[in-house]
Structure 1
Amino acid sequence: MPRGAAKSDDAGAVRSAVLTLHRTTGLPVVFGGALSGRGSLRISELVGNTTDSLDGLVVREGSGLGGKAMALGRPAWVSNYPCAASISHDYDAPVGREGLLSIVAVPVVVRRRVRGVLYGALREPLSLADRVVGAAMEVARDLEQDLAVRDRAGETLARARRAPGIDRGTARWEEVRAVHAELRALAEQVQDGPTRDRLRAATLRLAAAGLDGQDTAVRATLSPRELDVLSYVAVGCTNAEAAERLGLLPETVKSYLRSAMRKLDSHSRLEAVTAARRAGLLP
């Protein structure tokens, strides 16, 4: 995935996490940002703010509460920000204009690298409850998983782009089929709708590259999960193996496969895969 696209996707994911954190904790002020450069992040998402003092603020690693959380790679919090001796006070002015006193900062760490920070705050000098800190950490962990899946999807797409103009009988074409199946599985793990749609669209482009005929009437009749299962069947997976990769039960995979075979008027797994390839549903 291009670096600019990754930053844009990170910002969108942080936006969703900030809204979730506000909803689940009830904290009056919630904000956050994604990494904007080496060792710094830019606060871009705010809920409950009454001024624009924090909007666009660049936080450097090691500076302030968020910078401390970035440097340590773990949450940090204070109950009276102006008086806290455990942090530097580089950002007292913007924090003071917003009137924030009790603040928690939770880093978002993917593959041992900080990708952003989520903040929650009160305008009173009160200790944040363990429940609130725990909820913030849970939202951050969900965001970390989402970003990790996006990263894997980007790497898988890059693999597909490195294999253009392939003859259908070659081993490299089998790699395209494996990439297609992996992208289908990754799409179902992504919480963000637009990103999930982009991944599914990428799988359709890969499938169209192997279009054998014009039998496209069944394209709209297979459900996403039926196509997910067929994608793994097409690369030789058993029902149990497909279930493990898709996070489903083997019986559920068997049910989706039976349904796909019926819709494709096929009597075997091989016939179903062949029919799906002729319809441009699989590469």
Structure 2
Amino acid sequence: MGPTGDAIHPHLPPAEVEVDAALVRRLLATQHPDLADRELAFVGEGWDNAIFRVGSDLVVRIPRRAAAAELVLHEARALAPLAPRLPPPIPTPVRTGTPGEGYPWAWNVVPWFEGEEAALASPPDADAERFVDFLIALHTEAPADAPDNAVRGVPLVEHAEGVERGFAQLRKETGIVTPAIEAGWADALAAPVATTAVWLHGDLHGRNALLRNGHFAAIIDWRDVTSGDAACDLAALWMLFEDPDIRAEALDRYGADPALRRRALGSAIRFATVLLAHGREGDPRLASIGTNTFRRVETDLARAR
């Protein structure tokens, strides 16, 4: 899999513009003619973007909805200064595209990374240190003009209503929302809020981390890049790593204080709720991530008692 980061769902929101290979070919011919004669192959489409592989080493990510158009610009602005200091490769745009040929929005060309989703094959425990070092390198204080995001990295209280709705639905359909999960969520809501806004990936789960030969090869899908509470990204520890001791050691290595640990666990609960809800609508891989995250959170809550 390459750096699409656009999970393929059977129940996608409708495209607001028609995007096909012929359009992509015309855009390349008029704006990046040196790429226009390369082999072009449709890879798939997700909630926001259609994906076309260009030759062996590049991908065109082109929005299919207006909501994604600004996110493409966010990626281009934010990733260039971040990429040099991050340990695993990230899909920094190598070319940018503008509206044309009847297409209304910006688009970009990014590298293709070989690998498989960490959602399909969990990373080894030995990679936890590398993953934490990536987070440490990323989580520097963000500038005031970092891209805004109304959902990622915000105080957990802003998610309280949505999580409670998710809990209510999951209670009807599953037994996964246990009293321990409810107590862990309540504790996270009560934790002191973050006082520093750091750079965030914003959507770090197993579909956005690539493994090659069993080890982290790239972190993809930066459309939600923003600034905010580091707990948002630290939630990935419960989405990626099975061993509770490895998660604890990772939090120690990161230097997480008690309040951040409480918020990170709460963020994991929030992600699990969202991923399981979406997954149950037709994406088994997202559902699996959500289910496993709930189970790992419950394990850590039991160990803490």
Same fold, TM-score > 0.5, yes or no: no
TM-score by length of 2: 0.26
Say which structure is richer in helix. Answer: 1
Higher RCO, 1 vs 2 (CA within 8 Å, ≥6 residues apart): 2
